[in-house]
Chain A
Amino acid sequence: MQSATQLLATAESIYKVTGPEDIAWFEERFPGDRVLAGSAISEDYSHDEMGTVSRAPDILVKPVSTEEIAAVMAYASSQRLPVVVRGSGTGLVGGCVAIKGGILLDTTLMNHILEVDHENLTVTVEPGVLLMDLAAHVEAQGLFYPPDPGEKSATIAGNISTNAGGMRAVKYGVTRDYVRALTVVLPSGEIVELGSKVVKNSSGYALKDLMIGSEGTLGIITRAVLRLLPLPPKRVSILVPFARMETALETVPKIIQSKVLPTAVEFMERQTILFAEEYLGKRFPDTSAPAYLLLTFDGASQEIIDQSYRTIADLCLACGAQDVLIVDTEERHQSVWNARGTFLEAIKASTTEMDECDVVVPRNRIAEFITFTHELAELLQMRIPSFGHAGDGNLHVYVCRDDLDEATWQAKLSQAFDAMYAKSVAFGGLVSGEHGIGYAKKGYMQNQYGPVQTRLMNDIKAVFDPLNILNPGKICQ
Chain B
Amino acid sequence: MNILVCIKQVPSSTQVTVDEKTGVLNRNGVESKMNPYDLFAIEAALQLREQAGGTVTALSMGPPQAKSILEEALAMGADQACLLSDRRFAGADVVATSYTLSQGIRHLGVFDLIICGKQTTDGDTAQVGAEIAEFMDLPHAANVTSIGAIGPDHLLIDVNLEQIVQKQKILLPCLLTVEKDLNMPRLPSYRRMLARRDDQVQVLSLADFTDQDERHYGLAGSPTQVERIFPPVHEHEKHTTSGDADHVAGELLALLLRLKVTPAQTACEIR
Contacts from A to B (Cβ < 8 Å): 238-239, 282-286, 310, 313, 317, 323-329, 331-332, 335-336
| A284 touches which of B36, B183, B184, B193 (Cβ 8 Å) | B184
Q: Is B132 an interface residue (CB 8 A)?
A: no
| A282 touches which of B33, B184, B185, B190 (Cβ 8 Å) | B184
Q: Once the chains bind, are A328 and B190 in contact (CB under 8 Å)? A: no
Known: A283-B184, A285-B185, A335-B184. A325 touches B39 (CB 8 A): no
Q: Once the chains bind, are B75 and A329 in contact (CB under 8 Å)? A: no
- For B12, B33, B189, B190, the residue with the greatest tally of chain A CB atoms inside 10 Å of its CB is B190
- For A285, A313, A323, A329, the residue with the greatest tally of chain B CB atoms inside 10 Å of its CB is A329
| B184 touches which of A285, A317, A325, A327 (Cβ 8 Å) | A285
Q: Is B186 an interface residue (CB 8 A)?
A: yes
Q: Once the chains bind, are B39 and A285 in contact (CB under 8 Å)? A: no
Contacts from B to A (Cβ < 8 Å): 12, 33-34, 36, 39, 75, 183-191, 193
In angstroms, Cα B191 to Cα A286, docked, is: 15
Q: Once the chains bind, are B187 and A285 in contact (CB under 8 Å)? A: yes
In angstroms, Cα B186 to Cα A326, docked, is: 10
Chain B residues with CB under 8 Å of A327's CB are 187
In angstroms, Cα B189 to Cα A122, docked, is: 40
In angstroms, Cα B37 to Cα A331, docked, is: 10
- For B184, B187, B189, the residue with the greatest tally of chain A CB atoms inside 10 Å of its CB is B187
Q: Once the chains bind, are A326 and B39 in contact (CB under 8 Å)? A: no
Q: Once the chains bind, are B190 and A324 in contact (CB under 8 Å)? A: yes
Given A329-B36, A331-B39, A336-B187, list of 4 further CB < 8 A pairs?
Answer: A285-B187, A324-B190, A326-B188, A332-B187
Q: Once the chains bind, are A239 and B187 in contact (CB under 8 Å)? A: yes
Closest residue of chain B to A335 (Cβ to Cβ) is B184
Q: Once the chains bind, are A323 and B189 in contact (CB under 8 Å)? A: yes
| A324 touches which of B33, B185, B191 (Cβ 8 Å) | B191
Chain B residues with CB under 8 Å of A326's CB are 75, 187-190, 193
Chain B residues with CB under 8 Å of A324's CB are 189-191
Closest residue of chain A to B180 (Cβ to Cβ) is A331
The smallest C-beta distance from A237 to any residue of chain B, in angstroms, reads 9
Q: Once the chains bind, are B187 and A317 in contact (CB under 8 Å)? A: no
Known: A329-B33, A331-B36, A331-B39. A286 touches B186 (CB 8 A): yes
Closest residue of chain A to B181 (Cβ to Cβ) is A282
Chain B residues with CB under 8 Å of A286's CB are 186-187
Chain B residues with CB under 8 Å of A317's CB are 190-191
Q: Once the chains bind, are B184 and A328 in contact (CB under 8 Å)? A: no
Q: Can you list 29 residue pairs at the A/B interface with Cβ under 8 Å?
A: A238-B190, A239-B187, A282-B184, A283-B183, A283-B184, A284-B184, A285-B185, A285-B187, A286-B186, A310-B190, A317-B191, A323-B189, A323-B191, A324-B189, A324-B190, A325-B186, A325-B187, A325-B190, A326-B75, A326-B187, A326-B193, A328-B188, A329-B12, A329-B33, A329-B34, A331-B36, A331-B39, A335-B184, A336-B187
The smallest C-beta distance from B8 to any residue of chain A, in angstroms, reads 14
The smallest C-beta distance from B121 to any residue of chain A, in angstroms, reads 11
Known: A283-B184, A284-B184. A325 touches B33 (CB 8 A): no
Chain A residues with CB under 8 Å of B185's CB are 285
The smallest C-beta distance from B184 to any residue of chain A, in angstroms, reads 4
Closest residue of chain B to A329 (Cβ to Cβ) is B33
In angstroms, Cα B43 to Cα A331, docked, is: 15
The smallest C-beta distance from A280 to any residue of chain B, in angstroms, reads 11
User: Which 7 pairs across A and B sit closest by C-beta, in order of nearness?
Assistant: A283-B184, A324-B190, A325-B187, A326-B188, A313-B190, A323-B191, A285-B187
In angstroms, Cα B188 to Cα A327, docked, is: 8
In angstroms, Cα B187 to Cα A310, docked, is: 16
The smallest C-beta distance from B14 to any residue of chain A, in angstroms, reads 12
Chain B residues with CB under 8 Å of A325's CB are 186-190
In angstroms, Cα B184 to Cα A239, docked, is: 15
Closest residue of chain B to A310 (Cβ to Cβ) is B190
Closest residue of chain B to A283 (Cβ to Cβ) is B184
The smallest C-beta distance from A340 to any residue of chain B, in angstroms, reads 14
Closest residue of chain A to B31 (Cβ to Cβ) is A302
- For A313, A317, A325, the residue with the greatest tally of chain B CB atoms inside 10 Å of its CB is A325
Chain A residues with CB under 8 Å of B33's CB are 329
In angstroms, Cα B36 to Cα A331, docked, is: 8
In angstroms, Cα B191 to Cα A317, docked, is: 9
- For A284, A324, A327, the residue with the greatest tally of chain B CB atoms inside 10 Å of its CB is A324
- For A310, A317, A326, the residue with the greatest tally of chain B CB atoms inside 10 Å of its CB is A326
The smallest C-beta distance from B238 to any residue of chain A, in angstroms, reads 17
Closest residue of chain A to B193 (Cβ to Cβ) is A326
The smallest C-beta distance from B75 to any residue of chain A, in angstroms, reads 7
Closest residue of chain B to A328 (Cβ to Cβ) is B188
Closest residue of chain A to B34 (Cβ to Cβ) is A329
In angstroms, Cα B33 to Cα A67, docked, is: 52
In angstroms, Cα B187 to Cα A239, docked, is: 9
In angstroms, Cα B75 to Cα A323, docked, is: 12
Chain B residues with CB under 8 Å of A238's CB are 190
The smallest C-beta distance from B33 to any residue of chain A, in angstroms, reads 5
Chain A residues with CB under 8 Å of B189's CB are 323-326
Closest residue of chain B to A284 (Cβ to Cβ) is B184
In angstroms, Cα B183 to Cα A284, docked, is: 10
The smallest C-beta distance from B169 to any residue of chain A, in angstroms, reads 27
In angstroms, Cα B184 to Cα A32, docked, is: 49
Closest residue of chain B to A331 (Cβ to Cβ) is B36
Closest residue of chain A to B39 (Cβ to Cβ) is A331
Closest residue of chain B to A288 (Cβ to Cβ) is B186
Chain B residues with CB under 8 Å of A285's CB are 184-187
In angstroms, Cα B190 to Cα A323, docked, is: 7
Chain B residues with CB under 8 Å of A284's CB are 184
The smallest C-beta distance from B171 to any residue of chain A, in angstroms, reads 30
The smallest C-beta distance from A70 to any residue of chain B, in angstroms, reads 32
In angstroms, Cα B34 to Cα A325, docked, is: 17
In angstroms, Cα B31 to Cα A471, docked, is: 52
Chain B residues with CB under 8 Å of A310's CB are 190
Closest residue of chain A to B183 (Cβ to Cβ) is A283
Closest residue of chain A to B43 (Cβ to Cβ) is A285
Closest residue of chain A to B184 (Cβ to Cβ) is A283
